[in-house]
Structure 1
């Protein structure tokens, strides 16, 4: 049941306070919440998480303003700092002795003040099974990196940043996956963007791929995603560029631009600065 703790002496922008997998989870009650962003995902068994309003204390009484979530295998929850919560193995409460095994991570770093903006300032977010598979792989990689290269704080910072990107991406998708409009029009377009963002794709081509007009796709996409197709594509490309700028620290900016679908490096720099408030070079210097 491995668990690792980040170095208190490291000064990286994104750091693990803790990370672990295959953890036999015990019951936890936190009346004051946890001081950091805290992610918990079911690996085996079933967990039950109750999140309370920040304005309420956790007690033995049944609270009206609370949310109880069942975490099946592959499902996770990200809880914001200082949000009261509790969780336990649902199997035990139902008379079943099967363990509840979890994967988890808690996040800190010199950029911690910006995490609330990154996660849209909500109290908690649920992570579905599809995204959970990606998060699980990222947590497993971080655990292995702690085993093999625990002194490489820059690499571990990149591991941490990668997990946070996965979680923030899911937290911004506040849709109903069972909605037929989402299934027919939105999901295929998102999949196409994530598979082909390197290519020269347009909103019209994406609309044609799901057999609707560009205007109709724009209206439905904005309803579900709170942004246009073009904005989603641009944001996805820029987030990929952030990863590449940190992972490939010696690769030229114009090459990074090409890697994420921009044939014009000047246009890439303009869009990067528009979304982040800094140039790609400034972003790289800030984090490396």
Structure 2
């Protein structure tokens, strides 16, 4: 269970400019109010919600923040947040350091990150440890806590990786039926709207995650799958070009030839002749 915190601590010590990561502030409240960053701040921030609900505005978007939600903000990044309910409990830390931008860049933390429904158990443990250390060690506490601040950054990175993995599983659940449907039906007219209906998501979202996973648009993927089948039929059968065109989902042989040549650099007829010639050569060489 997370203990109540109603204080902010901004530790100070000389020679902190030599720290690669340096804690500049830490705090929390059960009654978080309105806060605005106008783009002139010099510290990075991690904030997470313990209970209640609030809202954060940045990049022209408004996002609800509730229990388990976490946000990372780069320094000097305009944003504001405020409660939706009178009792909105949050925790936060702010930090900098002479090597912090390189460190965050290597971790992919060069822009705002919003994570929903995280397991913040480790963050809360580190938070409590920092608060206790700062209260009990006024001399060296900031140096020890700057190391703990680095641990918080690493925990944030771990939470991001977990979220990406979870998101990938969700995307796979969306994409697998779509890809299977393409495999079973590429030999006929296959409108994108049919695949969108199968996926249960919007056209734009399906197109985006499909490109991320497969490296091409849905339309190009279907064409490549049809060309692959056409190459197989051209090599393994003597079927006429117009029949192969129809079997591979191209209703117009002329269009099929155009698409095939654009993909392979030669026409279907040339591909058949060259491939069979090469096949015969390979077979005679093995005798």
Partner of 2:38: 31
Q: Residue 60 of structure 1 aligns with which residue?
A: none
Deviation at 1:173, TM superposition (A): 5.1
Is the CA contact (8 Å cut-off) linking 2:30 and 2:87 kept in structure 1?
Answer: no
Distance, in Å, in 2 between the alignment partners of 1:173 and 1:223 is 18
Provide the rounded CA distance (Å) in 1 between the counterparts of 2:100 and 2:123.
Answer: 20
State which of 60, 69, 75 in structure 2 corresponds to 1:75.
69
Give the drift of 1:139.
Answer: 1.1
**TM-aligned CA deviation for residue 8 of structure 1:** 4.6
Which of residues 117, 133, 137 in structure 1 aligns to 2:125?
A: 137
Normalised to the residue count of structure 2, the TM-score between the two structures is 0.51
Q: How far 1:22 sits from its partner (Å)?
A: 3.3
Distance in 2 separating the partners of 1:8 and 1:40: 24
Aligned to 1:102: 90
Measure how far apart 1:176 and its partner are: 6.8
Quote the residue 1:42 is aligned against: 49
User: Deviation per CA, 1:40-60, whole angstroms, max 9, x where unpaired?
Assistant: 1112211100112xxxxxxxx
**Number of aligned residue pairs:** 168
Deviation at 1:171, TM superposition (A): 3.4
What's the TM-score, normalizing by structure 1?
0.51
SS of structure 2 residue aligned to 1:107 = strand
Deviation at 1:124, TM superposition (A): 0.8
The higher-RCO structure (CA 8 Å, 6+ apart) is 1
Measured on the aligned residues, the alpha-carbon RMSD in Å equals 2.8
Whole-Å Cα distance in 2 between the matches of residues 158 and 29 of structure 1? 28
Matching residue of 2:79 = 85
Name the one with the larger helix percent: 2
Structure with max Cα Rg = 2
Give yes or no for contact 1:23–1:103 (8 Å, CA) kept in 2. Answer: no
Gap regions ≥5 residues in structure 2:
1-5, 174-211, 215-287
Q: Which whole-Å CA distance do the structure 2 matches of 1:183 and 1:34 have between them? A: 40
Output aligned runs, 1:63-212, within 5 Å: 66-91=60-85, 98-152=86-140, 153-172=142-161, 175=164, 177=166, 180=169
